Structures are given as structure tokens and as C-alpha cells.
Amino acid sequence: MPTSTFDYLNEELERLRKEGMYRLPTVWTSASGPWMETGGRKLLQLSSNNYLGFTGHPDIQAAAIEAINRYGAGSGSVRTITGTLDIHDELERELADFKGTEAALVFQSGFTTNQGALSSLLGPDELVISDELNHASIIDGIRLTKAARAIYPHKDMDRLEQLLKENGGRKRTFIVTDGVFSMDGDIAPLPAIVELAEAYGAYVYVDDAHASGVLGRNGKGSTDHFNLHGRVHVQVGTLSKAVGVVGGYVAGADVLKRFLVHKGRPFLFSTSHPPAVAAACLAAIRLLRKSQPLIDRLWDNATFFRTRLQEEGFDTGGSETPIIPVLIGQPDQTADFSRQLMEEGIYAQGIVYPTVAMDKGRVRCIVTAAHTKDDLSFAVEKIVAVGKRTGVLKG
């Protein structure tokens, strides 16, 4: 094959490199946790979604090992053929009970949950109205459908109402929102969304990827946080962030589950989770039920860290949760800030265009319950040092 065959790909990659948008993953040689090793150095980890430190919890690890010993490494097939084990069912019953819904259905990831659920729930008879800052998996799920679509400016309830009024004659309308927005760390105005939905007869679909294990009693999510039980039609959660393993799920009515079993394409056409994953998730959800003190610690850490950064003069945007962005600016400035932090012993990833707007590049910090106050003070000290050196902090 001539080397020029992929010139067009190289050109695009070069463009990304020039604009500070080229990504190379950092390779870690230690377990996920507040301090992690790469290239023989220990760095303070401020980019992981391991909110409660569950990835390394001994009970969860033991459950995974036991499941491997009992069932082997893989499940062998998609769920509807031979890929459903009793622990897959048990996990779904546990999730439904935890969320207070009739049923739950697990997908291979949070991404495929949104993709599979939205692409099958929405068709030419539906209108979907989506917050402009919803996650990529929501955007992709909607793109796969023939539904009419409308985007409202971030959390703009007036615009949402206007779109509900205009409707366009579709039979059903779905309002789709993240529960916690992944790049800004702010919380969706779910009570207002639910009220509008009820006034206009729309369905509410909330993606609680960053609210699972974080918001609500014992981390039940944003529906519980706002006491909206029975008023949110589709609750999506992840098993890969606070739960510490991998996967996603839809919690809701039994009919919703049965429909998605028949129509959710990732569920139907991709092999189910390995037994170790299902068992680890089951152990993690059971643990979550007793984890309020750990969740309180997570929120205490988040408030401490955000307040300290604001006191030093940083802009943390609309953050209200353990996701705390430090706004920097253009992609190259942001990439440089993140690189300098790494030299100082802090791993906090730069998030740049196209994930966020061109001038809204940020170092996205994620605080966990496993961080100590000393860890977080160390991080603030280093962020301030880099802030002064780069001119992001004036004076």
C-alpha cells in the first residue's frame, strides 16, 4: 500500500496537533486511585471518575474473582442467545430495587445505553428536545433516529417551554438531559424540566452517569436528589464511574425494559458483560447502599477544593459537584497548563474544543472521596503556581 494512502488522515491529525487538540493517552502502571504511577513517577490523580474509590474495593474485587472461578472469563454470547447468567438478572433486580423502579436493564457501557435506548425509543412520530451540553452518547443516540429534534441552550427553561409549545405535531415529545453535566459539573434543573414535561405531556429522560453514586440518598441519582420519584420516565445510570466497574443501565417501567430487550441494538447484538463484571457491579451496588458517609466525604472534598480555587481567583464555571473545571481559554493554552501541572505532579486533563467551545478550554478536575485534604491542598498549591507562571492568574 503506498504511504500516501492515508495522507488525508495524517493531514487531519497534523491539524489537531497544531491546534493543541492531539491526544495521547497517559499509560498508568498502577491501580486506579488518588495517586497513580506513570513513567516511574507518582502523580496525584484528578481526572478519574472513580468518585468513591470503588475500583479497588476489596469486596468488589473478591466478588469478581469468585465469579471468574465459578463462571469463567466470558459470557459467550449476547443476552438473548446464551449470554444471560443468573448474576446478570440479579444485578438488574438489585438496580431496580436500589433506584425504586419496576425494572432495570444493563447495557455494556453508559455510551451504548444512551445509544441503544434513544435509538429505539425515538422514531418518526417523536420530537426529542435535548440540552446543548448533553453527552456525546446522547447526541449520537439521537442522530441514529428519524425523530424531529431541537436543542435548547444549556438549562434554558424558557426556551425549552417554547420548543414544547411549538411541538411540530409529533405524537410524543421526549426531553433529554444529563443529570450532572460532565464538562461543567453543574446539575440539571430537573424539577423545572419535570414540571414543564407534565404541563405539556412530554416524557423525561435523564442520564445520571455523573450523578450515579454521587447525588441522592446513597447515590441513587438526581431523581432521588430532587424527590421526583415516579415522575422521570427513563433514568440512565453508569456502572463505570462511582460504581467503579463498567456498564450502563436504564431504570424505569417494566414495559420499558421489555421493549429495550427487543429493540435495544447494543443489548441485542453485542455480547453481555463477563461474569466478573456483573458480579463486581452487584457487589458495588450493595456496597453503595451503605455508603452515605463516603458520599458525604466526596461532597466535603468537592466543596473544599472548589472554594480554595475560587479564593485563589480561578473561574470554576458553574460547578456544583465533584467535577470542578478550572477555566483556562484556548486549546493550546489549556494543553500547556495541563502539561505544566503534570510536571508538578498533578494529573488533571485539559478538555478542549470540540468537546467544549473553542475559548472555554479547561483543566477538568474531579475530586473523589479517596483524596485527603492534604492531597487537595497540594493540588491547589500547584495549580496556583502554574496559574501565576502562565498568566492565567493575574497579579
Binding residues vs ligand PMP (CB under 6 A): 109-111, 114, 135, 137, 178, 182, 207, 209-210, 238, 240, 248
CB closer to ligand PMP, 21 vs 138: 138
Residue 66: all three cell numbers together = 469468585
Nearest to 299 by CA among 319, 318, 281: 319
To 10 degrees, what angle do helices 86-99 and 275-288 make? 20
Q: What residue has cell string 463486581?
A: 280
Please report how close the Cβ of residue 181 comes to ligand PMP at its closest, in angstroms: 7
CB closer to ligand PMP, 141 vs 387: 141
Alpha helices in the chain (DSSP H): 7-18, 58-71, 86-99, 110-121, 136-143, 157-166, 190-200, 222-225, 254-263, 265-269, 275-288, 292-311, 331-343, 373-390
The neighbour count for residue 87, using CB atoms within 10 Å, is: 23
CA–CA separation, 186 and 318 (whole Å): 6
Query: CA separation (Å) from 327 to 288, 314, 338?
Result: 32, 7, 11
Please report how close the Cβ of residue 278 comes to ligand PMP at its closest, in angstroms: 15
Please report how close the Cβ of residue 211 comes to ligand PMP at its closest, in angstroms: 9
Please report how close the Cβ of residue 279 comes to ligand PMP at its closest, in angstroms: 18
CB closer to ligand PMP, 142 vs 380: 142
Residues labelled as active-site residues:
182, 210, 241
CB closer to ligand PMP, 75 vs 240: 240
Residue nearest to ligand PMP (CB): 110
